[in-house]
Amino acid sequence: MPPPPVEYTKFYNIRGSHEWGKIISWAYFSDLNVFAVKREGGVQYFRYAHELKTLPGFEMNRLACLKLLYAEEGGRSGWLERALKFEYRNKWVNFKPQRPQRIIHKNKINPITKRPKVTLKWQPPTTMKKIPLRKLPQNFSRYFKWWNYDSRTGEAVIVLDKGDDWETIRVYDPMWLTNLSERDVYTLYKCQIFSDIWDMEQALQFQRVIEVCFAYEIHAGVSWKEKTKEFLRTD
């Protein structure tokens, strides 16, 4: 099943959502109990499956054509993935996405149809207000080899060499890097993330977070409240 066109956003007025950019992937994290939608401009988190219905219809089509990362076959995430594919094939009979509000501009004429211009207004989706930070492995620096950007999933992949065994740490949200140990932050800071040239902007989102963490000594165990006070200090 080919994915639908992803250039729709430039034709719609999606208030509060257009700046996030196109959808790259989506995933379910059982330890956080959230669904995450990875976009060009960041990650949106949904606590409940039914909140995904607050996305525009053309974006629900996009999700239905993408594999849900880390889905549990026997859990609600596996059920949701199958349900979206079924609904997509059947024109969204039960799981109905958000429908836009039609605004008719009587004083503006569409030059093609010669009728009053119509704007479709979409409401922002119902997402979590706070970023859920995931726990990451600590003190892996002695095994570190490189890290790179995976364009298929939108993740940063940290590669570790443990002798006969190679392991990877996959980071979906750049903000999760704030949960690394101080030594690991320094290790990633010293090493540029690898990526294809067309993925450079996405890869640099991870690199920039590491640079901020290094500059302001942000790492696992640090009090964000105290760090915020330092940033806002005006001595």
Q: Which two tokens stand for residue 201?
A: 């902007």
Rounded Cα distance, 79 and 206, in Å:
31
Burial class (CB in 10 A: 0-12, 13-18, 19+), 189: middle
What secondary structure letter does DSSP report for 18? G
What integer pLDDT is reported at residue 7 of this predicted model?
Answer: 40
Is the distance from CB of 24 to CB of 39 less than 8 angstroms? yes
Q: Which positions ≥6 away from 51 have C-beta within 8 Å?
A: 125, 126, 127
Is the distance from CB of 91 to CB of 107 less than 8 angstroms? no
Is the distance from CB of 40 to CB of 147 less than 8 angstroms? no
Is the distance from CB of 71 to CB of 61 less than 8 angstroms? no
**In the block, residue with structure tokens 């200090």:** 233
What integer pLDDT is reported at residue 17 of this predicted model?
Answer: 47
Q: Which positions ≥6 away from 167 have C-beta within 8 Å?
A: 143, 159, 160
Per-residue pLDDT of the chain (235 residues; tens, 9 = 90+): 344 444 444 444 444 445 578 999 999 999 999 999 999 999 999 999 999 999 999 999 999 999 999 999 888 899 999 999 999 999 999 999 998 888 888 888 888 888 888 888 888 999 999 999 999 999 999 999 999 999 999 999 999 998 889 999 999 999 999 999 999 999 999 999 999 999 999 999 999 999 999 999 999 988 766 766 666 655 5
